[in-house]
């Protein structure tokens, strides 16, 4: 596929099971390989045979996964290329649906296998646990319900993606409107904010209807799988073995007592700096001293070489990893026509190499994204030697520790981009962003706890539950005159619609990242060593052990949060 930014990549290891010439994007060539694995399982007569069988299954999964990633990368790098889109959709429509039941079948074969109990326990503990969950939760009757859920998700995205407003004579998408909230001219900010809020409100009825339908489906999915409610089902399905709904509620309470006071202090300072009598929803993003935006680089080449300098200063292994990605063209970073929006890191699972995609335009946010995605890429590089396919991925709670830590550690060397006063301004914005994120995380998470433990609730009750959370976590922002926008604010949070309960992970990970950063202030080489050792574990150990290896604790109590918030506050004071 010539549409890929990179050429032929070196194989990590030669294939032992999948034929070298196999076209793994074609189901007719894949299906016999699944047949072979199914029949071979019965013939395994020793643990060695059985482990080889598991590795071959992993090799096939990795090859298919890489094919899917390659098609996704080609499509997002060339949204205007019909062939690339066709190749991607072909895979989604013709390979993935066939793949799911075959993978499920192999999981069943594994669980029923007589040699399973003879595998080394410590080594296979996590794999075994995850495979059990996969089989335990699978219900044939849920498949059509999940398809319906996905389609509703598409409707939600279609509506949000299609929204535009007419701003000063020009039609603009809602993401394009975001930059006007950084505009020093307050009247312009207000105009932009109100246009967007009102545009969303016009769709409120549709969002509510889609969501009502989703909640019904999810309650049914949970009931089919034998769970009393969708909250308990989701915790199991998301593989949350190491924390409970009660832990999450404790986390929300800790955010309220430990973080909200700091949020209110920051908001008060912002209001005073902006010389306002009250802080309105359109006053939260603008620079409080009305300075022009930071300009970290003039072109992407400069961004890459400066980022390289940061890694050179941090650690030789990390620097070498980033250099390798540059050499192999595993970076597509500049914003250009025909590229999908946003940024992501994606692993090529057979080559065992990471790829980073983003749309850099020359703002500080690009530097943060670059460091964040590089953290994910370091994770992928660190797990290369791991032979078990599923262990080359960590749970999401820990993946984000890898990326968020890299933002904090990398920010220590922002002088590669700016003179010190400007570097401090960037650091300040970043740390304030971390503080402000926790209450929003708690709001989104607590809201979903309420929704899925109140079956049969009405829209009015749901709205009241949301507003109660806005009172708890909204801080000092003055919403008067915009009560309706406030009551419907959750409509804009995609996760509530598309990825239920997937949000608290970011909060959990941020606590981990802050701990890594705190450790690095005491002992930088030690913290970086632990960070890399934890990354290298991939998903081979349970979540608490991954945190422990990185030198931190998986804990969301006030006791853990308190010293971290104190450190951030001290740092913010220094950066003033
Ligand atoms: Zn991330």
pLDDT in tens, the chain (576 residues): 478 999 999 989 999 999 999 999 999 999 999 999 999 999 999 999 999 999 999 999 999 999 999 999 998 899 889 999 899 889 988 898 889 889 999 999 999 999 999 999 999 999 999 999 989 998 889 988 988 898 898 889 889 888 999 999 999 988 888 889 999 999 999 999 999 999 999 999 999 999 999 999 999 999 999 999 999 999 999 999 999 999 999 999 999 999 999 999 999 999 999 999 999 999 999 999 989 889 999 999 999 999 999 999 999 999 999 999 999 999 999 988 888 888 899 999 999 999 999 989 899 999 999 999 999 999 999 999 999 999 999 999 999 999 999 999 999 999 999 999 999 999 999 999 999 999 999 999 999 999 999 999 999 999 999 999 999 999 999 999 999 999 999 999 999 999 999 999 999 999 999 999 999 999 999 999 999 999 999 999 999 999 999 999 999 999 999 999 999 999 999 997
Token readout for 311 is 């890694």
Conformation bin of residue 338: beta by default, left when phi > 0, alpha when psi is -120 to 50: left
Q: How far is CA 115 from CA 48, 60, 168, 471, in A?
A: 10, 21, 70, 56
Å from CA of 520 to ligand 1 middle:
21
- Which residues have CB under 8 Å from 138's CB, separation 6+? 104
pLDDT at 564: 97
The residues with which 355 forms a beta bridge, in sequence order, are 346
Å from CA of 44 to ligand 1 middle:
40
Cβ neighbour number for residue 184 with a 10 Å cutoff? 13
CA 408-414-417 angle, 5° bins: 145
What is the rounded end-to-end Cα distance, in angstroms, of the chain? 51
What's the pTM? Answer: 0.94
- Which residues have CB under 8 Å from 182's CB, separation 6+? 285, 286, 287, 293
Helix axes 27-43, 47-77, angle to 10 degrees: 160
The residues with which 173 forms a beta bridge, in sequence order, are 164
Of the candidates 245, 294, 246, the residue with the CA atom closest to the CA atom of residue 422: 294
The residues with which 348 forms a beta bridge, in sequence order, are 353
Q: How far is CA 30 from CA 57, 102, 508, in A?
A: 12, 10, 39
Å from CA of 369 to ligand 1 middle:
9
Reduce the DSSP state of residue 88 to 3 states and report it.
helix
Q: Which residue has the tokens 């390989």?
A: 33
* Ion ligand 1 contact residues with beta carbon within 5 A: 403
Å from CA of 346 to ligand 1 middle:
10
Q: Where are the alpha helices (DSSP H) in 383-479?
A: 396-411, 420-452, 459-473
Å from CA of 566 to ligand 1 middle:
25
Q: Measured on CA atoms in the order 463, 468, 472, 474, is the torsion positive or negative?
A: positive
Reduce the DSSP state of residue 306 to 3 states and report it.
helix
Å from CA of 37 to ligand 1 middle:
34
Q: How far is CA 249 from CA 15, 254, 543, in A?
A: 47, 9, 19
Å from CA of 391 to ligand 1 middle:
18
Å from CA of 372 to ligand 1 middle:
6
Q: Specify the DSSP class assigned to residue 419.
A: -
Å from CA of 8 to ligand 1 middle:
27
Å from CA of 48 to ligand 1 middle:
37
Reduce the DSSP state of residue 41 to 3 states and report it.
helix
Å from CA of 375 to ligand 1 middle:
8
Q: Specify the DSSP class assigned to residue 414.
A: G
Residue 288's φ and ψ, nearest 5 degrees, are: -65, -15
Å from CA of 317 to ligand 1 middle:
21
Å from CA of 342 to ligand 1 middle:
12
Å from CA of 198 to ligand 1 middle:
31
Q: How far is CA 23 from CA 61, 94, 161, 191, in A?
A: 13, 14, 35, 54
Instruction: Say if CB 359 and CB 421 are below 8 A apart.
Output: no
Cβ neighbour number for residue 348 with a 10 Å cutoff? 22
Å from CA of 408 to ligand 1 middle:
13
pLDDT at 253: 98
Å from CA of 324 to ligand 1 middle:
21
Å from CA of 399 to ligand 1 middle:
7
Å from CA of 347 to ligand 1 middle:
13
Å from CA of 516 to ligand 1 middle:
16
Q: Where are the alpha helices (DSSP H) in 287-363?
A: 300-314, 316-327
Instruction: Say if CB 77 and CB 3 are below 8 A apart.
Output: yes
pLDDT at 227: 97
Reduce the DSSP state of residue 286 to 3 states and report it.
coil
How distant is the alpha carbon of residue 420 from its chain centre? 31
- Residues 227, 6: Cα–Cα separation, whole Å: 46
Q: How far is CA 338 from CA 72, 127, 176, 277, in A?
A: 14, 40, 16, 44
Instruction: Say if CB 497 and CB 156 are below 8 A apart.
Output: yes
- Residues 537, 449: Cα–Cα separation, whole Å: 31
Å from CA of 286 to ligand 1 middle:
25
Of the candidates 270, 381, 282, the residue with the CA atom closest to the CA atom of residue 322: 381
Å from CA of 43 to ligand 1 middle:
42
Å from CA of 25 to ligand 1 middle:
27
Instruction: Say if CB 408 and CB 527 are below 8 A apart.
Output: no
Å from CA of 401 to ligand 1 middle:
9
Å from CA of 80 to ligand 1 middle:
26
Å from CA of 119 to ligand 1 middle:
34
Å from CA of 22 to ligand 1 middle:
33
Residue 344's φ and ψ, nearest 5 degrees, are: -155, 160
Å from CA of 366 to ligand 1 middle:
14
Å from CA of 403 to ligand 1 middle:
6
Å from CA of 400 to ligand 1 middle:
5
CA 48-545-567 angle, 5° bins: 155
Å from CA of 376 to ligand 1 middle:
7
Å from CA of 282 to ligand 1 middle:
27
Instruction: Say if CB 459 and CB 208 are below 8 A apart.
Output: yes
Task: Kindly tell me the burial class for residue 539, based on how many C-beta atoms sit within 10 Å of its own C-beta (0-12, 13-18, 19 or more).
Answer: buried
Cα torsion at 371, 375, 381, 387 (round to 10°)?
-160
Å from CA of 422 to ligand 1 middle:
25
């Amino acid at each position: 596929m010539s549409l890929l930014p990179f050429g032929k990549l070196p194989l990590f290891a030669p294939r032992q099971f999948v034929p070298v010439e196999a076209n793994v994007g074609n189901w007719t060539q894949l299906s016999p390989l699944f047949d072979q694995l199914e029949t071979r399982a019965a013939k395994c007569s020793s643990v060695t045979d059985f482990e080889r069988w598991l590795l071959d299954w992993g090799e096939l999964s990795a090859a298919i996964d890489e094919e899917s990633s390659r098609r996704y990368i080609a499509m997002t790098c060339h949204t205007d290329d019909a062939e690339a889109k066709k190749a991607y959709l072909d895979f989604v429509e013709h390979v993935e649906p066939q793949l799911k039941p075959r993978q499920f079948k192999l999981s069943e074969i594994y669980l029923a296998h007589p040699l399973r109990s003879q595998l080394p326990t410590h080594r296979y503990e996590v794999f075994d646990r995850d495979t059990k969950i996969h089989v335990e939760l699978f219900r044939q009757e849920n498949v059509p319900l999940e398809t319906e859920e996905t389609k509703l998700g598409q409707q939600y995205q279609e509506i949000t993606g299609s929204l535009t407003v007419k701003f000063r004579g020009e039609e603009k998408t809602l993401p394009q409107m975001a930059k006007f909230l950084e505009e020093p001219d307050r009247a312009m900010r207000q105009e932009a904010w109100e246009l967007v809020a009102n545009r969303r409100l016009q769709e409120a009825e549709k969002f509510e209807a889609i969501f009502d339908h989703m909640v019904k489906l999810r309650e049914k999915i949970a009931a089919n799988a034998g769970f009393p409610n969708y909250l308990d089902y989701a915790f199991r399905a998301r593989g949350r073995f190491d924390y409970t709904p009660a832990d999450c509620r404790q986390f929300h309470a800790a955010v309220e007592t430990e973080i909200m006071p700091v949020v209110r202090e920051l908001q008060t300072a912002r209001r005073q700096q902006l010389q306002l009598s009250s802080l309105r929803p359109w006053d939260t993003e603008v620079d409080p001293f009305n300075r022009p935006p930071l300009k970290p680089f003039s072109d992407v080449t400069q961004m890459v070489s400066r980022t390289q300098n940061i890694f050179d200063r941090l650690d030789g292994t990390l620097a070498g990893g980033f250099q390798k990605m540059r050499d192999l063209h595993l970076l597509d970073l500049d914003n250009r026509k025909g590229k999908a929006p946003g940024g992501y890191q994606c692993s090529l699972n057979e080559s065992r190499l990471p790829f980073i995609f983003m749309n850099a335009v020359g703002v500080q946010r690009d530097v943060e994204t670059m460091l964040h995605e590089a953290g994910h890429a370091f994770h992928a590089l660190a797990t290369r030697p791991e032979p078990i396919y599923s262990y080359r991925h960590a749970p999401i709670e820990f993946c984000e520790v890898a990326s968020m830590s890299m933002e904090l550690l990398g920010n220590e060397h922002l002088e590669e981009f700016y003179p010190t006063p400007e570097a401090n301004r960037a650091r300040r914005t970043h740390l304030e962003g971390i503080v402000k994120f926790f209450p929003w995380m708690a709001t989104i998470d607590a809201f979903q706890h309420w929704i899925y433990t109140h079956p049969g609730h009405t829209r009015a009750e749901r709205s009241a539950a949301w507003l109660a959370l806005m009172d708890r976590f909204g801080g000092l922002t003055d919403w008067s005159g915009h009560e309706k926008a406030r009551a419907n604010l959750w409509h804009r949070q995609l996760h509530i619609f598309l990825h239920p309960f997937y949000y608290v992970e970011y909060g959990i990970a941020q606590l981990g990242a802050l701990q890594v950063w705190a450790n690095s202030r005491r002992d930088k080489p030690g913290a970086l060593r632990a960070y890399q050792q934890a990354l290298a574990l991939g998903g081979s150990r349970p979540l608490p052990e991954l945190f422990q290896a990185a030198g931190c604790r998986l804990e969301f109590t006030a006791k853990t949060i308190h010293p971290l918030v104190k450190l951030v506050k001290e740092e913010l004071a220094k950066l003033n």
